[in-house]
Amino acid sequence: MRKLIIEQTTYSPKVILDHEKNLFEISGESKPPDVAAFYLNIIRWFDDYSEHLDRSQSTGHPGVLNFDFQYFNTSSAKYILDLCKKIGDVRSKGINLEIKWHYEEDDPDMLEAGREMSKLAKFPFEFVQKN
């Protein structure tokens, strides 16, 4: 199982997906020029991770995926939702994988986006207000 580390740029978020350290984070702004290529790499990693969890039959707490976006465009939203749904599928197998949705105190739109993602993914997120 490989790690996936992508450095943040002006157009794309920082991504840390490291199952060994139990560290899962996507943060920053998401408006990459090729949204599909950017997120399909992440979704493929998650598919591998999901298979890893299935093989290990992990019943413990494999981790928390932290979403900490300052902004994402509508094209990114589709792929973020796809990832959230995949996490929901893993959860439906009894694996306790969680999402923490971080948002700025003065950014009700990002909070609402997280609530909508949670609703569409059909499982509760934990909402973390940053000061």
CATH number at residue 36: 3.30.750
Q: Is 115 exposed, middle or buried (0-12, 13-18, 19+ CB in 10 A)?
A: middle
At residue 112, the pLDDT reads: 98
Q: Of 102, 6, 93, nearest to 45 (Cα)?
A: 6
The total domain count for the chain is: 1
pLDDT tens across the length of the chain (131 residues): 899 999 999 999 999 999 888 889 999 999 999 999 999 999 999 999 999 887 776 556 668 999 999 999 999 999 999 999 999 999 998 888 899 999 999 999 999 999 999 999 999 999 999 98
At residue 94, the pLDDT reads: 85
What residues make up the domain containing 111? 4-130
**What secondary structure does DSSP assign to 65-102, as a single string?**
EEEEEEEE-HHHHHHHHHHHHHHHHHHTTT--EEEEEE
